[in-house]
Amino acid sequence: MRKFFPSLLCCFFSFSFIYAQQFPVPILHHEIIGDYVYVKADELGNVFALTSGGQLKKFNSNFDSIGVFNDVKRLGKVNHIAFGNALRTVLYFKQYRNIVVLDRLMQVVNRIDLKKHSLFQVEALGPSYDNKIWVFDEQESKLKKLSEEGAVLFETSDLRIVFSEAISPSIVIDNGGFVYLYDPLKGLYIFDYYGGFKKKITLLGWKDIQPLGKNILGIGSEKVFVFTPGDVSINEIKIPLGLETAKQLTFMADGCIALYDDRIVSYKWTK
């Protein structure tokens, strides 16, 4: 308990900006120069950066190199990077409908060819809390949970019947006991782990959707929108000066990672 309490206290203060509806002043922490096209950070602050040449590089929070995955081009373009836990990285190559799971050293530990499991129209996926994988099958309009071998363990009913319309989510997020499907043209759909539909929130045009604690964050024009389960309203927080020019932002409890044309920069929040 002595080890847990300081961590909990730190987390409490780190997330206070959400409820204050403003970010602390960002302070430059580290940066790395290079031609990068995509960046994302996991819950431990490890940074995953995709170069224009097709290398996927992993750095720690100080931008020291941890590993490199070089088989990106052979598998096609990486369309999505997600983290089941700190030891597993999930890559999705939509062109060939392949899911690749990497360990902490960027070595392949699993590969799922969705075509072999009759999944031909998967645009969105994400790891589950128990190291399985959620996918949205657009052909059948169903949310499905796959085993590590790619077998379907669970699926919802046809959601076109539930909503009287087809949805096309861009991302699936398993967070805080809920599964979120985000369709930028229709909104955020929330389900429980049994596929029960809980709520729809009309939040349109978000990009860089991500979980942060129990919250779901999305970036709009010059603002970060924060959905917190149980809250009636959506918090809107203005992006700090200097960060609004970033091509991509990933937020963490103690700071953020920003992608610019010629570099990646990590910032820490002031206390």
Which residues are within 8 A (CB) of 85 and not within 5 positions of it... i.e. 6 or more apart?
A: 127, 131
Give pLDDT, residue 183.
Answer: 96
Rounded Cα distance, 35 and 17, in Å: 32
Which residue in the block uniquely carries the two structure tokens 């759909």? 189
Comparing CA positions, the residue from 37, 84, 89 lying closest to residue 68 is 89
pLDDT recorded at residue 43: 80
Q: Which fold has domain 16-269?
A: Neuraminidase (2.120.10)
Q: What is the mean pLDDT of each run of 10 residues along the chain (271 residues)?
A: 36 55 86 95 90 92 92 81 83 94 92 96 94 96 96 96 93 95 96 94 90 91 89 88 91 92 94 69
Is residue 170 exposed (0-12), middle (13-18) or buried (19+ Cβ within 10 Å)?
middle
Q: Hunting for tokens 């902490």 — which residue is that?
A: 104
Query: How much is the pLDDT for 23?
Result: 80
- Measured in degrees and rounded to the nearest 5, phi and psi for residue 96 equal -110, 10
Where do the structural domains in the chain lie, given as residue ranges? 16-269
Q: What is the pLDDT of residue 123?
A: 95
Give ∠ CA 96-37-238 in degrees, rounded to 5. 120
Q: What is the pLDDT of residue 12?
A: 37
Specify the amino acid at residue 54: G
Specify whether the CB–CB gap between 49 and 39 falls below 8 A: yes
